[in-house]
Amino acid sequence: MNRQRLATATAILGLLGSLTTSAWAGGPDPGRPAPPARVTRVLSAPGSTTALSGYAIQSTAEVTDSAADVSSPGYPAAGWHPAGPRSTVLAALLADGVYADPFYSTDQRKIPKADFRVPWWYRSDFTVADTSERTYLDFSGVISAADVYVDGKQVATTKDVTGAYTHHELDVTSLVRPGKNSVAFRIQPNDPARNLTMGWIDWLQPPPDENMGIVRDVVVRRGGPVALRDAHVVTELDVPSLASADLTVKARARNDSDAPVTATVSGSIGSTTFTRPISLAAHETRTVTFTPTDVPGLHLTSPKVWWPAGMGGRPLYELNLTASVSGTPSDTAHETFGIRDVQAPLNSDGARQYRVNGRKLLIKGGGWSPDEFLRWDRTYVEDRLKYALDLGLNTIRLEGHLEPDEFFDLADRYGILTLPGWECCDKWEGQVNGDEPGDKWTAADYPVAKASMAAEAARLRDHPSVVSFLIGSDFAPDATIEKNYLDALKTADWKTPVVAAASDNSSPQLGSSGMKMTGPYDWIPPNYWYAKREGGATGFNSETSAGPDIPTLDTLRRMMTPAELDTLWKDPGAKQYHRSPSSTFGTLKLYDDALTGRYGPPTGLTDYVRKAQLAQYENVRAQFEAYERNATDASKPSTGVVYWMFNSGWTSLHWQLMDRYLDQAGAYFGAKKANEPLHVQYSYDDRSVVVVDNRHTAASGLTVRATLYNPDGTQKFDRTSTGVKVNGDGAHAAALTLPSSVSGLATTYLLRLTLTDSSGKEVSRNVYWLSTKPDTLDWAHTDWYHTPTTSYADLTGLTSMAQVPVSATASTDSSAGTSTTTVTLRNTGSGGTPSLLTDVHLVDAKGRPVLPVRWSDNEVSLWPGESVTLTAAYRTEDLRGAAPNVRVSGWNTPEHTVPAA
């Protein structure tokens, strides 16, 4: 986040906030009761790991029993609330029906924050059949700190277990007994300004419990006298040939017994096997290493190289290790890894330029938000990552809120690069954060931060999708903190680039970040993005967008009352609870003033939403198109852009390419259009029409046609350029330039671009609504979140467009749980007027959107007689047993619904 963003944000930390989702589309269902806490049966085999299946939780204000009693087997926990294995306090209470849906209206204000200013108990029972093996509790993800008890005995204090990311392994062998055992955590309240945990900055209204709880698995490990820990593979890929790779296998062997032992550590990667004896004194730990020097099979010829999506395949390798004592397995370790090389040097302009396996790429990403209550739902996360691919993005940035292992497993699988890092505006940058919230560090915080870095480095290093760690966000760490982080990363054999900050800052060892955080975060016009200054398309912009992203009317009606919806379109100065707790972003005034100034005042809620979708489509499209066009420039090229944000953790009015329920509107389809594999686009700065090739292969024999129309469909200009060639890997080629003036062109006009390949097939179509009166920016008064606009483009001529009928026919095929609906649209109007931004929504029998869905294209514009066929892929079960229907609407197309069975 921009370091100035929270100048008034001290008050934010006292605000309440939370969310949930509804059952009929997208996300976890908070109304579904959590199952009763079950007794977890722990496996006995050496090397086995068993996650606790859930907890019973209760406020310490309601519990008078001693810690010894609470943590003893047989404790009744009468009246306690069930919680899942990864659950904040409030997530559990929502699932248990204690509170109403806080996603709706301002209902979250009714949740009393005082209930979460005292510690809460988390207790769970597990059974152990065989106590001859050693037993350990292994966990991270405690927010904010905890006293830990096993079978009535304290095994760790809050001084030991503190920080959301620190990793803990507690040897409880001496305490566990055959049969039932109990573990209890007394969780301390969280305050992101005082604890090295997680906060929400200005993304959304923060949850009243501040996410206190246990949000990662607590695992019971079993093993013999020698434990294997920290197993990983260090890869060295020969670049640029990619013809060979060297693998180095490392693990720590730890003797947990009171006597010396000789263990044999053996392992395999594919068909390559290796083994080595190791002698360990009592309680000694040593690192065992296998290299290509002593294991020739660890030198790979023609390795299977991992690539980001769209650049190649995504093969993964498996490491398996076993430590044996006297021929009996004592412990095992398993790790998945990929072979790839990442470099991110600074270019001649000082911008960070990423290369994967020797090939440059423009980072095109979005800022990630987890569920506000940190509820993990693999399907929901996977759906969003599939949306990222559908949008043509290649990267997700995680500012704090570093998701569980499965998130990075999915990113590896889908080829989505990730940029994890620490967050701003709270304790993480308290030592260097100027006037932002966040307490300064005390002596006790330094080891917690270093331990957090060590734990996350060990967790993330083998994931090929992880291409950097940002140790600072708005600010870079000072020399002491930086050294601690870098020492931890070095110890973990971290190989990918480490970046000092997401902003234009530097640290003593790492130097310049090579990134910028110059905004904007609120509305600016589309032509802003083409200026090579501030947030425009030059360098690496780590977080930026034009701010508000008004969701669809379907979603708005789910998240706001009728009175709130009236205020939404009638009163630009009104406080909008579903925007942000920040006073800077508390209203939609900048956005609404621009909407009125450019498109005309809204005449009602429906009109407001349809204008919002046009505005969001053109702005998001321009953002990505500008960065794509400038990526291969000789001077001040763009090297990365992260849309702020990719998604929201609750029902929001800003910073989202899709809404909480995974519905898609103007912002989504504007991004999807801009990031087409082979794409034709218009440049707002110099009127050039260029072709961008996001594929690896070059293209030739292309034809580009540009046609200008008045809103009534009267053609005023037409030009074709043939024989266009463009190189791959993000290169662009100019095809033609539109004239500065055209006779008879209306103040508001349309531009249609088409790109056809050498066979005459249309491969890209792009329609713009433009004005002879440009948006004028007041660059001199730029602040940290936007550049003022002194006069607006006149797009009001769009309101005069005649209504145009668009026919639709649809059919659906289903197989193996997946359905595909095919829709053919045709502009059947008798005049010359096109149908502008025609939207197709898949809906069920009650008219509710079927989500998630991936469209081949959408929000299309058709001239009279033109037709287009679109496809929508989705899970059959999301129809909820109903027959599919297709709802067609658009800027000047009457809404109607047709069957799609």
Residues identified as active-site: 474, 543
**In whole angstroms, what is the distance from residue 543 CA to residue 645 CA?**
8
Amino acid at residue number 20? T
Q: Could you give the count of Cα atoms lying within 13 Å of 804 in the half-sphere of its Cβ? A: 32
Q: How many Cβ atoms are within 10 Å of 560's Cβ, its own excluded?
A: 21
Q: Could you give the count of Cα atoms lying within 13 Å of 59 in the half-sphere of its Cβ? A: 12
Residue pair 793/528 in contact by the 8 Å Cβ criterion: no
Q: 280 - beta bridge partners?
A: 261
**In whole angstroms, what is the distance from residue 742 CA to residue 850 CA?**
44
Contacts of 55 (CB under 8 A, 6+ apart): 37, 82, 83, 84, 85, 87, 92, 122, 123, 124, 214
**In whole angstroms, what is the distance from residue 558 CA to residue 322 CA?**
53
For the four alpha carbons of 301, 305, 311 and 315, in that order, the dihedral sign comes to positive
What is the per-residue DSSP string for 234-257?
A: EEEE-TTT--EEEEEEEEEEEE-S
Instruction: Label residue 662 left, alpha or beta by phi (over 0 means left) and psi (-120 to 50 means alpha).
Output: left
Per-residue exposure over 342-354, b if at least 16 CB sit within 10 Å of its own CB, e if not: bebeeeeebbbbb
**In whole angstroms, what is the distance from residue 337 CA to residue 591 CA?**
45
Tokens 């972003």 — which residue?
585
**In whole angstroms, what is the distance from residue 828 CA to residue 839 CA?**
16
H-helix segments, 461-560? 479-491, 553-559
Burial bucket for residue 443 (CB in 10 Å: 0-12, 13-18, 19+): exposed
**In whole angstroms, what is the distance from residue 320 CA to residue 232 CA?**
10
Contacts of 895 (CB under 8 A, 6+ apart): 887, 888, 889
The interaxial angle of helices 378-390 and 405-414, nearest 10 deg, is: 30
Residue pair 727/816 in contact by the 8 Å Cβ criterion: no
